[in-house]
Structure 1
């Protein structure tokens, strides 16, 4: 199987452990503060604002997952302070920025609604996205990527089936919530891309962002399930989130060459934070202000300011390594 062959290419352990995931799940259960909004009380946001919030969530989820891997690499290289900087920034991206965007967008619904959303996403990935990616990678000669995409497609089918069973239990009271899956953790060391085709690289980028977002959304759904007293459903969402991150995202990260050594990782982080601080979030804030979505505009402005601080901290860390 691909997951076993990939271990011959890598050493060390991924820093994204199940224990840290559990801590994240509890952190995500905290109310979203000044940006808290629910479908019942919040005015409807314009479609462009909702689209911008969705883009923000995807970017913040990807930053969390990437920075966590960068932290592990910094630790392996003996740069403990940089590792702590990456970890702290990752937590801000997930537990503040993404959570606040999700609150504004009304991402979390009832347990049944959350399960239907999960089923829809897993069905698409199982039946369409990963099958297409596998066929394209095979045609382009990227056989490791084709094998990984095929395995992930099968995993997503199992996730869909488990969520369908859970939905029946939640809506009818018949049956029980399935046991959560266990992630087969894939180590992610520094290394170059292991695919050759531009199309495979683009598909890996799409997949990485999708898996990071699925991880974050499922933690939000898990937090809601716990708040409503459904601990079995919370465990199912948390376990699935772990597979999306520690297995799927990590396996794709190895093939994509996502992690470099610490100095290039810092440069990549600086470039990303600069774009968010100076272009993306200011544009989102301007659009939200123009249509009267004031809470969203404030969120975008505040997040831009945070990203500018992150950029400065990463630059200072890079300067200390020179």
Structure 2
């Protein structure tokens, strides 16, 4: 399998999984996604037990999704004139990406050479362009969710352009000839508070799958950009610009149809539940499993993240108790 592991579960989320994501988006276990994780060949070379690698994949998906979700929860807090809550959401989003995701990705060896990173990006964009988004668009159209069908079709076309840019960049990296393409333009989408704008459970599940994929792509491309910045600044700009499209345009457009953002009070309630699940259930279980197979560094990281998430839950609870 390529670095962006694909599984059949991607296009067929169960109703139970979809419900779990709606109830607790920061903590739900995401399906395997095209912008994959710890089960990649590079990660397998890290010398970790397969179970630990799978747990790292799950946790990276969750951290990337929390980072993306909290970004838009912060914007909603701004709209409600709750600046302290907005700052907390933005600060926590930064921790989820720049500390938790980054350290988990380091253990899983997600970031490789520039060429390897581009091949991983190409594999994911190819799947999204040719398989995932066209399939989601057909299903949404069949279910009468015209707006979702149009969005999925639009994003498929965007991903085709990302694919073209990444292929051109890989040719430059491998041959030393030519120029790295400029990053794609970003057309930001605002995500106001509101319920789902689709009527089909299948479309809702597909939006959830797509959002997890876009959040993970944003997180991975952010790390790829940092790696490239050391010696290929133009490639860093391409990765960074594409990461912004995945978050500010694709994830945001899907989040609007999904009804991800609600009132800040409701956002806080769901956030607290998600953080507590990670602190009390997910990360402690991952730590125990890692320790049992001798992956001590992973066990320590999982325990550290559990403690962090407990602290996040307490901070969000204070905002819920005293809105500001």
TM-score, normalising length: structure 1: 0.86
Aligned residue in 1 for 2:9: none
Asked if the contact 1:182–1:242 (Cα under 8 Å) also holds between the matched residues in 2, the reply is: no
Aligned residue in 1 for 2:318: 316
CA distance in 2 between partners of 1:303 and 1:109 (Å): 24
CA distance in 2 between partners of 1:204 and 1:48 (Å): 28
- Root-mean-square deviation (Å): 1.4
CA distance in 1 between partners of 2:72 and 2:46 (Å): 38
Aligned residue in 2 for 1:142: 145
CA distance in 1 between partners of 2:57 and 2:217 (Å): 12
1:1-322 → structure 2 map (5 Å cutoff): 44-227=47-230, 229-321=231-323
Q: What secondary structure does 1:44 align onto?
A: coil
Asked if the contact 2:290–2:299 (Cα under 8 Å) also holds between the matched residues in 1, the reply is: yes
CA distance in 2 between partners of 1:171 and 1:274 (Å): 46
CA distance in 2 between partners of 1:311 and 1:214 (Å): 26
Unaligned runs of 5+ in 2: 1-41
Give the 4+ runs in structure 1 shifted more than 3 A.
none
Query: 1:31-74 CA deviation, whole Å, 9 max, x = no partner?
Result: xxxxxxxx79x951111111111111111111011111111111
Query: 1:107-128 CA deviation, whole Å, 9 max, x = no partner?
Result: 0000000000000000001111
Aligned residue in 1 for 2:30: none
Asked if the contact 2:145–2:200 (Cα under 8 Å) also holds between the matched residues in 1, the reply is: yes
Q: In the TM superposition, what is the alpha-carbon distance from 1:147 to its structure 2 partner?
A: 0.4
Unaligned runs of 5+ in 1: 1-38
Asked if the contact 1:73–1:190 (Cα under 8 Å) also holds between the matched residues in 2, the reply is: yes
TM-score, normalising length: structure 2: 0.85
Query: 1:70-89 CA deviation, whole Å, 9 max, x = no partner?
Result: 11111110111111111111
Asked if the contact 2:46–2:108 (Cα under 8 Å) also holds between the matched residues in 1, the reply is: no
Query: 1:259-306 CA deviation, whole Å, 9 max, x = no partner?
Result: 011100000100110111111111111111111111011100110110
CA distance in 2 between partners of 1:226 and 1:269 (Å): 33
Asked if the contact 2:60–2:101 (Cα under 8 Å) also holds between the matched residues in 1, the reply is: yes
